[in-house]
């Protein structure tokens, strides 16, 4: 579903991604962990070309993301992204936040888009908030709206960039539960998170990044009980 081959990325003189090789199979959940500034967000943002890569190859759902001739909008429709700060439209009701893209980008009728939106709102447990504005919702509820919005495009891949980092602690669980359910249903997911419990339970693989490189990649059991790399050990000592 996603394959990085020898991907390099620079921000000017700064070499932010170095020799990245990574494959994500359909239905796999890959959790990316690592210190702040290690390039996790950049890695994620390259997948839907919110950032372009400097060299190497990046193939997503069969499309060459590194090739400027690729119709990136077509690829993006198949990729949902959830950010730390929800990024909902504040002046639109919850349901409008969800129906906007399907109506505009997929040409779905308003009525059908609203029906689909309600299904996903039920799925994330907040159908009763459909006609509220984002500001009337808690952080956890807003993030669940953001997930429903991503799902309403019927994506093949969902990307999550620290989806719970901006939430009050008591709301983290409700968002992780939604993500857990999604993983169980077989969604292909790449998740950047500091929630090590989630990584341990849900990830098929954990990828540890440091200073722009993938330093270690293993199944959660191995990563959490016997990390091979010194940097991974130090990181785990700090976060666990």
Closest to Mg ion by CB, 32 or 58: 32
When asked if residue 164 is in the footprint of ligand ADP (CB under 6 A), the reply is: no
When asked if residue 238 is in the footprint of ligand ADP (CB under 6 A), the reply is: no
Q: Are 36 and 43 in contact (CB under 8 A)?
A: no
Closest to ligand ADP by CB, 120 or 198: 198
Closest to ligand ADP by CB, 40 or 144: 40
Contacts 24+ apart (CB under 8 A), 44-49: 44/81, 44/159, 44/161, 44/190, 44/192, 45/161, 46/4, 46/7, 46/9, 46/17, 47/2, 47/79, 47/157, 47/159, 47/190, 48/72, 48/75, 48/76, 48/79, 48/81, 48/159, 49/75, 49/76
Closest to ligand ADP by CB, 15 or 154: 15
When asked if residue 41 is in the footprint of Mg ion (CB under 5 A), the reply is: yes
The site map against ligand ADP for 24-63 (x = CB under 6 A) is ----------x-xxxxxxx---------------------
Q: How far is the CB of 51 from ligand ADP (least distance, A)?
A: 8
When asked if residue 42 is in the footprint of Mg ion (CB under 5 A), the reply is: no
Q: Would you tell me which residues interact with ligand ADP (CB under 6 A)?
A: 11, 14, 16, 34, 36-42
């Amino acid at each position: 579903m996603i394959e990085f081959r020898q991907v390099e990325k620079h921000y000017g003189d700064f070499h932010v991604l170095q020799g990245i090789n990574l494959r994500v199979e359909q239905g796999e959940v890959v959790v990316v962990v690592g210190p702040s500034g290690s390039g996790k967000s950049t890695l994620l943002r390259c997948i839907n070309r919110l950032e372009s890569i400097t060299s190497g190859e990046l193939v997503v759902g069969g499309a060459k993301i590194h090739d400027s001739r690729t119709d990136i909008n077509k690829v993006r429709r198949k990729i949902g992204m959830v950010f730390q700060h929800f990024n909902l439209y504040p002046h639109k009701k919850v349901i409008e936040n969800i129906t906007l893209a399907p109506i505009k980008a997929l040409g779905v009728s308003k009525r059908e888009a609203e029906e689909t939106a309600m299904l996903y709102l039920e799925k994330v447990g907040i159908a009763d908030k459909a006609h509220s504005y984002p500001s009337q919702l808690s952080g956890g509820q807003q993030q669940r709206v953001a997930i429903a919005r991503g799902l309403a495009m019927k994506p093949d891949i969902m990307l999550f960039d620290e989806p719970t980092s901006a939430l009050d602690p008591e709301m983290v669980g409700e968002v992780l539960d939604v993500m857990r359910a999604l993983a169980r249903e077989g969604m292909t997911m790449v998740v950047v998170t500091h929630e090590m419990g989630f990584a341990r339970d849900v990830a098929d693989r954990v990828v540890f990044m440091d200073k722009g490189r993938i330093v270690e990649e293993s199944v959660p059991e191995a990563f959490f009980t016997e990390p091979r790399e010194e940097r991974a050990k130090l990181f785990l000592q700090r976060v666990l």
